Amino acid sequence: MTMTRDALLNQKGGVAKTTTTLHLGGTLAAAGRKTLLVDLDGQGNLTTALKLDRLNPKGELTLARAMLDGCDRDAARSLVRQHSENLWIIPSALDLFTLPRNLYSARSSEHRLSWVLELLEDEFDHCLVDCRPALEVDTDNALTWATDVLIPVDVDEFSIEALELLLGQVHTLTTEARIEPPRYRGLVINKIARPFSGFHQKVYDALHQLPLPVVGEIPLRTAVAEAKNKGLTIAQYEPKADVARMFRDLAVKAGYLPETPAP
Ligand SMILES: Nc1ncnc2c1ncn2[C@@H]1O[C@H](COP(=O)(O)OP(=O)(O)OP(=O)(O)O)[C@@H](O)[C@H]1O
Ligand SMILES: [Mg+2]
């Protein structure tokens, strides 16, 4: 089994990185794929959306600790919690907040996430890493490990500027660290609220003009908030909802799942 390695990132806050990770992951799990989510954000929104506990830096190994000290395969496995059939997560922990500072002077500082996740390569079909809204060394770690990048955006003019900055950062990192640049699966436009104002229509159109393909369009839906309150993915909470179908369309268009023939 060769695990796909994806980072979901955008330094712009609130563009639904965590929501996309959760429901794309849930869609893949529902399709029978063994899926590992990684909560790389000290805020732990992905972990709490699944109603799981954060790891406790005082009593157990955390991802940040494993990245700082190194670990073996059994230790890497001990980070993983199962949420439901085919869906696992490496939960957040508070020490992710100090990880960038602690990594700052470490040798091979941007390779540390790879050291941990490569130990789990044989156990999952897909791994999705939910990054925090920042372009710092922890995000660099996600980029160094990932072969593919999926970029959630929202219909906001700053999304376009943020994207330029993000692409520049990826280019600088991969050139400086001499690592293979990731493939871009594309953009997921989130929190779409129609009808658009003239202004939002312009931003929406501009997002479609960018050099990256739009592989998903996800509307604002109360079912998304309700699923989170129940600790479920949309594929589990309301598989027939239009937004559940849109996450399946994303999974196909972004290349995770094969196109299913029309019935
Ligand atoms: N399709 C949607 N329908 C309804 N609410 C949504 C949808 N997508 C995201 N949200 C809500 O928008 C808020 C921001 O989403 P989310 O936390 O996923 O963004 P983020 O990019 O991960 O934020 P951060 O930058 O803080 O990590 C959350 O409260 C989430 O529940
Ligand atoms: Mg988030």
The residue contributing the CA closest to ligand 1 atom 10 is: 16
Measured distance CA(2)–CA(4) in Å, rounded: 7
pLDDT band at 2 (very low <50, low <70, confident <90, very high): confident
Average pLDDT over residues 216-236: 98
Reported as a single tens digit per residue, the pLDDT across 156-186 is 999 999 999 999 999 998 998 888 999 999 9
**CB-count burial class (<10 Å; 0-12, 13-18, 19+) for 68:** middle
Residue 261 has pLDDT above 70, yes or no: no
- Let me know: does 188 contact 151? Beta carbons within 8 Å: yes
Residue 108 has pLDDT above 70, yes or no: yes
CA of 194 relative to ligand 1 center, distance in Å = 17
Helix (H, G, I), strand (E, B) or coil at 180: coil
Residue from 104, 150, 106 nearest 127 by CA: 150
Q: Which residues line ligand 1 (CB under 6 A)?
A: 13-19, 41, 45, 132-133, 190-191, 218, 220-221, 224-225, 228
Reported as a single tens digit per residue, the pLDDT across 30-54 is 999 999 999 999 999 999 999 999 9
pLDDT band at 262 (very low <50, low <70, confident <90, very high): low
- pLDDT value for 205: 97
Surrounding ion ligand 2 within 5 Å at CB are 17-18, 45
Question: Structural domains in the chain?
Answer: 4-253 (3.40.50.300)
Tokens of 20: 């996309």
Helix (H, G, I), strand (E, B) or coil at 192: strand
Residue 115 has pLDDT above 80, yes or no: yes
Q: Percentage of residues in the chain with pLDDT exceeding 90?
A: 94
CA of 260 relative to ligand 2 center, distance in Å = 30
